[in-house]
Amino acid sequence: MLLYSFHLADQQFCEFDRFINRFDINTENAVALKQKDDLYIILAAIDEIVKRGARAGRFRGENNVHALPAENCDLRLYCIRLHDGAVLLGNGGIKTSQKLQDSPDCFLHYQLLSELEKQITVRIQSRELRWEGALLKGDLYFELGDCVD
Amino acid sequence: MENLFRKSLEQAPEETRTWVSKSFDITDQILDILERKGLSQKELAELLGKNESEISKWMKGTHNFTEETIAKIELALGEPVTITIKQAEEKYGGLRKKMEEQEKKLHHLEAILKQKGIEPGEFGYALAG
């Protein structure tokens, strides 16, 4: 099982590491502690996916970008199931509204991953990218328009 | 990435990791039953009187299932999703006894082979093949 993430050009760390670094903080603040609890649920879920594989039945929905965890948590991590043996982890944030569009802390990360997913699909179809076992080979540099400031 | 993930995961309370793991066990079992019976998550939702989106959320593996919900799912699917140790003993105890008897016979056979100077490992592979 392979976990992928991606680097933004101006960032030192990949998006998944930035997500962990942002919420895995030592604090006495109750709100931050709740987010930390949510983070641990997300990390435990990723650990199970690594152990068991990314079976398709767990990743269903209107499109290919999925949120972890799906309920009872304010924190969201966005990811894409590439196949049974590979998941691309993005970044995430705190969902503060029913509609994702009204949660700016999440929506940006969702949009970015959604755009990346489209481009990966196009490149796989055009054979610019190809799977060699669980490894995605080819041009992995993407320009994603104006999604990110 | 892997290092930071593992380091942070180590900080997660064992309780959290255990219930998430159990939730994955339960949902793996539900997904297996659905696949075996040729049922979709939408059909399970209809059987339970729920929205399909709610079932999809459950299947992600981070839903904290209550016994009541599991009972409803089991009734809808027509078979158990989880079993207790007592139920497992009742259902598979006979099988375990048979396996223990086979194991005793195997040990006995290995002892005989050893007496005759034949390596049990070599013979074991031959039997397995």
Task: Spell out the SS3 assignment of A21-32.
Answer: HHHCCCCCCHHH
pLDDT band at residue A133 using 50, 70 and 90 as cut-offs: confident
Q: Report CB contact under 8 Å: A41, B16.
A: yes
Determine contact, residues B17/A47, Cβ cutoff 8 Å.
yes
User: What pLDDT is stored for residue A147 in this prediction?
Assistant: 52
User: Cα–Cα distance between B105 and A46 in angstroms, integer?
Assistant: 43
Of B13, B35, B61, the CB nearest to A45: B61
pLDDT band at residue A109 using 50, 70 and 90 as cut-offs: very high
Mean pLDDT, rounded, of chain A: 90
Of B12, B27, B28, the CB nearest to A40: B12
Q: ipTM for the complex? A: 0.90
Q: Report CB contact under 8 Å: B35, A66.
A: no
Task: Say how many C-beta atoms besides its own lie within 10 A of residue A88's C-beta.
Answer: 23
Of A21-25, A28-32, B87-91, minimum mean pLDDT range: A28-32
What length does chain A have? 149
pLDDT band at residue B124 using 50, 70 and 90 as cut-offs: low
Give exposure, A37-66, as e/b (b: 16+ Cβ within 10 Å). ebbbbbbbbbbbbbebebbebbbbeeebbb
Average pLDDT over residues A75-92: 94
User: What pLDDT is stored for residue A32 in this prediction?
Assistant: 75
A36, closest residue in chain B (CA to CA): B12
The residue assigned the tokens 């209550």 is B66
B20 in reach of chain A (CB within 8 A): yes
* pLDDT at A71 > cutoff 60: yes
Of A88-92, A94-98, A132-136, A142-146, minimum mean pLDDT range: A142-146
- Kindly state the tokens that stand for B114: 């050893």
- What pairs with residue B72 in β-bridges? none
Q: Report CB contact under 8 Å: B60, A70.
A: yes
Contacts of B12 in chain A (CB under 8 A): 40, 43-44
Average pLDDT over residues A32-45: 90
User: What pLDDT is stored for residue A149 in this prediction?
Assistant: 45
User: Cα–Cα distance between B70 and A31 in angstroms, integer?
Assistant: 31
Task: Say how many C-beta atoms besides its own lie within 10 A of residue B14's C-beta.
Answer: 8
- What pairs with residue A75 in β-bridges? A94
Q: Helix (H, G, I), strand (E, B), or coil: what is residue A141?
A: coil
- Kindly state the tokens that stand for B68: 């009541």
pLDDT digits (tens, 9 = 90+) for B12-42: 999 999 999 999 999 999 999 999 999 999 9
Average pLDDT over residues B44-53: 96
Average pLDDT over residues A114-135: 93
Q: Is the Cα dihedral A114, A117, A123, A125 positive or negative?
A: negative
Average pLDDT over residues B91-105: 88
Q: Report CB contact under 8 Å: A44, B17.
A: yes
* pLDDT at B117 > cutoff 90: no
Of A17, A52, A60, the CB nearest to B4: A17
User: What pLDDT is stored for residue B129 in this prediction?
Assistant: 41
B34 in reach of chain A (CB within 8 A): yes
Cβ contacts of A148 within 8 Å, gap of 6 or more: A8, A108, A112
Average pLDDT over residues A53-57: 95
B49 in reach of chain A (CB within 8 A): no
* pLDDT at A23 > cutoff 80: yes
Please report the beta strands in B4-115, taking only residues with DSSP state E, as ranges in sequence order: none
Average pLDDT over residues A51-62: 90
* pLDDT at B115 > cutoff 80: yes
